[in-house]
Amino acid sequence: MLTVWLLVLLILANGAPVIAARMFRHRFSSSVDGGRLWRDGRPVFGVSKTWRGLVAGFAACTLCAPVFGLTLAFGAVYGALALGGDLLSSFIKRRLRLEASARATGLDQLPESVIPVVFAWLSLEWPAWQAIGVVLMFVAGNMLTSPLLFRLGIRKRPH
């Protein structure tokens, strides 16, 4: 059951920012990078990475972890690592000159799933094959559901 809960926490870290954006619209939408540019003249992360999203994803993981039999601290670290992986993806995408929210298959899913799953694998007695399974399920699920969420008007782009 741990495998399911860790997958759900990844989905929460990824989905809570989208839900928060729909709920709050433009409120609390200041970008994490504050509009600053990197040495290459491109945004550090881009406008789609907001404090509202970070707080929503972090809170969702932290508060739901105990529901799944994990500690608040574990949920906080797991959520922070998932969101940190998402920021890393955005940072790399800006260096590759991709727009905010542009699709980059693999890069959009791997850092935000691999980093927290490695933490869970190292922290919990959890088989490596299940850790790999969580990453693969998250990547596949993200790639399959994103176009649907776009068609439903939940996502701004179909990825």
Q: Which domain holds residue 13?
A: 2-151
Is residue 75 in a domain?
yes
- Does pTM top 0.95 for this prediction? no
Is residue 18 in a domain?
yes
Is residue 116 in a domain?
yes
Output the pLDDT for position 119.
Answer: 98
Is residue 159 in a domain?
no
Is residue 56 in a domain?
yes
Q: Check if the beta carbon of residue 28 is closer than 8 Å to that of residue 10.
A: no
Per-residue pLDDT band for 158 (boundaries 50, 70, 90) equals: low
Residue 50: strand pairing partners:
31
Angstrom distance (rounded) from CA 151 to CA 145: 10
Residue 99: strand pairing partners:
none
Is residue 9 in a domain?
yes
Report the mean per-residue pLDDT for the chain: 91
Is residue 144 in a domain?
yes
Q: Count up the domains in the chain and report the number.
A: 1
Is residue 156 in a domain?
no
- Radius of gyration, alpha carbons of the chain: 15
